[in-house]
Amino acid sequence: MFDRIPAQTLRLLILLAVFAGVVLFFAAVIDGYLNARLFNRISTSVAIIALIATGQAFVVLTRNIDLSVGSVVGCVAYFVGGLLALWPGMPPLAVALLAVLIGAGFGAVNGFLVARFGLPSIIVTLATLAIFRSILVQSSDGASITTDSLPAWVPGFAQANAFTLGELQLRWMVVVTLVVVLAAHLFLTRLRAGRRFFAIGSNPDAARFAGIDAARTVFLAFVISGALAGLAGFMFLSRFGNITVVAGLGFELKSVGAVVVGGVNIFGGSGNVIGVLVGAALIDLIDTSLVRWELVSEFWREAVLGLLILAAVVADALLSRRLMARRRRAAAGAAAAAPAIGEGRT
């Protein structure tokens, strides 16, 4: 019965099953776990990391990795916050656009170094991770951005609900993220320009023979990653208000985690950004829930989280492999059966 479902959809369904399993598990061990508040917590907290992970997915699809995203988020949150303190009258849309542009600028630096000179992205972005953070530390001069220095609409945006259903709230920032993820999904699956990212990742040589500009595609992937990290930086500013130089620290690992758990092949070429969204939500769910689970002490939380991520990935890989094998057998069986029928006719 699974034979007709495309492989990516199958992966997504398995991931959703794992997600549901984790929710049920925590619901069983934590009192008063399943409620509207849980949805509000996870959805708002995932909004920021899911944006970054979506950008990361573009990069990973092309067989690269962007480790600098955490520093980009921090820089954008800080610089945009600083500009807003100077010119509080800037229109909201212009501010968001500015955040995206600054982020895209950082992404372009990575993209240029990787695509133009063919340098390994893990080294380039490891370096820019440190460089961007140092730029932030040097230019901040120790001052932090505080909520008071921002116009009221900035922290207000993170709190604004698109709609509420009883206790259930859907914040605007969650809506923005969902729209971005959906747009990215449609772009990657429906448009020729989007398919190029898969082509470069699955077989760079074949892609080049097919006339795809590899350098341009990789460059674009980094620019998209930077731009989405920039948008995430604006949301970070809006949600947390007080920005110090440590803002966004560690987001690179979280985003790569979400991408991998979300079923994007770390060696490029296959994946689905809807899966990345679910992956980000799964990691956040586990992280938030473990704090509430009495059995796990603070010191073990990180280790347990790591184990659960590993388990999720292994379970996903094993299940997909088994289903793929069964499908191959079924296909082989059908192929063997077909000539037999033909022979009967003659």
Partner 1 sequence: MKLFSVSALALGAALAGSVAFADTIMAEKGKAVNMVLLPKFLGILPFDQANRGAEEAHKELGNTGTLLYTGPTPENSVAGQIEILTTATSQGQNVVMLSNNAGDQIAPAAEAAQAAGTKVVTWDSPIPSGKGESLFVAQVDFGSIGTVMADMALSIIGPDGGEFAVLSATPDAANQNAWIAAMVEALKDPKYAKIKLVDTVYGDDQSEVSYNRALALVDKYPDLKLIMAPTTVGIQAAAKAMQDEGLCDKVKVSGLGLPAEMVSYTLNGCAPEFALWSFVDLGYLTYYTSYLLATGALKGEVGETFNAGRMGDFTIEEDPGRAGAKRVLMGPFTVYTKDNVEAAAK
Binding site for partner 1 (CB under 8 A): 32, 37-38, 41, 45, 48, 129-130, 133-134, 136-137, 140-144, 146-148, 155, 158-159, 236, 239-247, 249-250, 287-288, 291-292, 298-299
> Between residues 115 and 145, which has the closer beta carbon with respect to partner 1?
145
Interacting residues of 74 by C-beta distance below 8 A, sequence separation 6+: 132, 133, 136, 233, 243, 245, 246, 247, 248, 249
> Between residues 112 and 240, which has the closer beta carbon with respect to partner 1?
240
> Between residues 74 and 103, which has the closer beta carbon with respect to partner 1?
74
Closest approach, Cβ 158 to partner 1, in A, equals 7
Q: What is the DSSP string of 3-35?
A: GGS-HHHHHHHHHHHHHHHHHHHHHHHSTT-SS
By three-state DSSP, how is residue 145 classified?
strand
Give the separation between CA 31 and CA 104, rounded to whole angstroms: 44
DSSP 8-state code for residue 269: S
Interacting residues of 3 by C-beta distance below 8 A, sequence separation 6+: 327, 330
Give the separation between CA 77 and CA 71, rounded to whole angstroms: 10
> Between residues 32 and 344, which has the closer beta carbon with respect to partner 1?
32
| Helix axis angle, 69-86 to 214-240, nearest 10° | 50
Closest approach, Cβ 68 to partner 1, in A, equals 12
Give the separation between CA 112 and CA 313, rounded to whole angstroms: 32
By three-state DSSP, how is residue 247 classified?
coil
> Between residues 171 and 185, which has the closer beta carbon with respect to partner 1?
171
> Between residues 73 and 200, which has the closer beta carbon with respect to partner 1?
73
List the one residue out of 45, 22, 26, 42 whose CA is nearest residue 34: 26
> Between residues 265 and 288, which has the closer beta carbon with respect to partner 1?
288
Which uninterrupted H or E stretch holds 327? helix 298-345
Contact 55, 72 (CB under 8 A): no
3-state helix, strand, coil in the chain (%, to 5): 75, 5, 20
